Amino acid sequence: MRKKILITGGAGFIGSHVVRLFVNKYPDYDIVNLDALTYAGNLENLSDIDRKPNYSFVKIDITNEAAINELFKNTIFDGVIHLAAESHVDRSIKDPLAFIRTNIIGTVNLLNAARSQWEGNYTGKRFYHISTDEVYGSLGKEGMFVETTPYDPRSPYSASKASSDHLVRAYYHTYGLPVVISNCSNNYGANQFPEKLIPLAINNIKHRKPIPIYGKGENIRDWLWVNDHARAIDVIYHQAAVGETYNIGGINEWTNIDLIRTLCEIMDRKLGRSAGESAQLITFVADRAGHDLRYAIDSSKLQRDLGWQPSLQFSEGLEKTVDWYLEDEQWLAHVTSGDYQKYYEKQYENV
Ligand code: NAD
Ligand code: DAU
């Protein structure tokens, strides 16, 4: 019997890498990509695999309960890998309700549909919820997030993700739904929408526009190559015990300012600019409201239990990422046309 797996948010940044990995690696699985194609969803991300016989796409908004129920009425799934979400912290500060609708209500619609389709016969079934390290809150200079760190979300985005994590666990404890959760640190790589720090900076450096750095640039993030996140999702989907949680991260902490200076050096070299030219674009701007100081993920449980390791050093991953954005100029041009300009002008009006 072929397996049928529903991947939600597969037209987005991380989801498209997960869909590609599963479609290529498992020709005997049928992969159904469900996505509402919001501003962040882009089917161009999958143009290299979208004709494969084991891939199909459905355009559905997960907040639409009737549409989700209809899908689950017509198609039997062996598993769900749930990535669809509103994912950008700055947008959550401006419009929290959109995050409540998609990240909380949308997740509950999927949990209900899976529960009612599987009707207590959970053999071979799995609901895998993709979450974030931001649910754990903000660290000081010391320590790392482990799987048992108490939740302390501080932005509307992370609060909505924390809420969805709690609901997923509630469905496990209350109904026995076979769930798995992972919480990952900041991803970077190809196909990331240029509202996020790294692709936004690459795009601005390319066009000699100011690079906005919030506050003093001292906030710390723990960066992981998106392909390594996709590999971790593969391993966890197939090997994790039901009810388990795994942290995923690269042990790769950078202050924003050091990261952007390194990126400027790479861009100077790739664009044939003189040393230090791109760094002159760095512009300190008003801080993000409630800006979490530091994230750092301890992923030793995943490394120890399931044998996953990040495959790339950050320096190599950043080079590859810059190469991708410079080579695939059309992708950036497409996603930065239209609504992106309006978003950018509103978010960075004084820059
Ligand atoms: P993204 O914003 O690039 O993609 C989100 C995708 O979800 C898009 O394709 C969008 O069209 C789709 N979507 C949004 N609302 C929807 C709705 N109502 N119905 C159906 N589809 C909808 O996000 P991403 O960065 O790829 O993140 C994917 C998941 O991984 C999210 O759950 C996010 O919380 C989590 N995550 C992201 C990071 C990161 O660094 N980007 C790190 C850890 C966890
Ligand atoms: O930690 C995982 C999370 O990482 C994911 O759950 C989120 O979906 C993802 O967006 C990301 O959240 P961040 O808020 O950390 O990512 P972002 O790229 O928005 O910002 C990274 C850091 O850079 C953060 O400290 C804010 C800062 N920043 C960001 C932007 C967009 C700037 O200084 N200037 C900017 O213009």
Among this protein's residues, is 133 annotated catalytic? Answer: yes
Q: Does the reported pTM lie above 0.95?
A: yes
Q: Kindly report, residue by residue over 218-269, the tens digit of the pLDDT.
A: 999 999 999 999 999 999 999 999 999 999 998 999 999 999 999 999 999 9
Is 134 an annotated catalytic residue?
yes
What pLDDT score was predicted for residue 208? 97
Q: pLDDT tens digits for the chain (351 residues)?
A: 899 999 999 999 999 999 999 999 999 999 999 999 999 999 999 999 999 999 999 999 999 999 999 999 999 999 999 999 999 999 999 999 999 999 999 999 999 999 999 998 999 999 999 999 999 999 999 999 999 999 999 999 999 999 999 999 999 999 999 999 999 999 999 999 999 999 999 999 999 999 999 999 999 999 999 999 999 999 999 999 999 999 999 899 999 999 999 999 999 999 999 999 999 999 999 999 999 999 999 999 999 999 999 999 999 999 999 999 999 899 999 999 889 999 999 999 888
Residue closest by Cα to atom 30 of ligand 2: 197
Query: Which residue of 191, 288, 351 sits with most ligand 2 atoms within 8 Å of its CB, as the best mutation to test the pocket?
Result: 288
The domain covering 3-192+223-252+290-313 belongs, at the CATH homologous superfamily level, to NAD(P)-binding Rossmann-like Domain (3.40.50.720)
Ligand 1 pocket residue status of 38, Cβ below 6 Å:
yes
Work out which ligand 2 atom sits closest to the CA atom of 213: 33
Where do the H-state alpha helices sit in 105-209?
107-118, 156-175, 197-206
C-alpha to C-alpha distance for 259 and 211, rounded to whole angstroms: 12
CA of 89 to the centre of ligand 2 (A): 7
Alpha carbon distance 232, 126 (integer Å) = 16
CA of 186 from ligand 2 middle (Å) equals 8
- pLDDT by residue (tens digit) across 68-118? 999 999 999 999 999 999 999 999 999 999 999 999 999 999 999 999 999
196 lines ligand 2 (CB under 6 A): yes
* Sheet hosting strand 220-225, strand order edge to edge: 186-188, 220-225, 253-255
295 among known catalytic residues: no
| CB 229 near ligand 1, within 6 Å | no
What Cα–Cα distance (Å) separates residue 233 from each residue in 14, 128, 172, 310?
Answer: 10, 9, 19, 12
Distance from Cα 276 to the centre of ligand 1, integer Å: 34
Rounded Cα distance, 236 and 150, in Å: 22
Sequence ranges of the domains in the chain:
3-192+223-252+290-313
Q: What is the pLDDT of residue 1?
A: 80
The answer to whether the CB of 161 is under 6 A from ligand 1 is yes
- The reply to whether ligand 2 has any atom less than 6 angstroms from the CB of 183 is no
Ligand 2 site, residue 5, Cβ cutoff 6 A: no
* Residue 156: per-residue pLDDT: 98
Which of 34, 89, 81, 88 has the alpha carbon at shortest distance from 62? 34
Whether 127 and 234 have beta carbons less than 8 Å apart is answered as no
DSSP string, 213-265: EETTS--EEEEEEHHHHHHHHHHHHHHPPTT-EEEE--S-EEEHHHHHHHHHH
Classify 281 as helix, strand or coil: helix
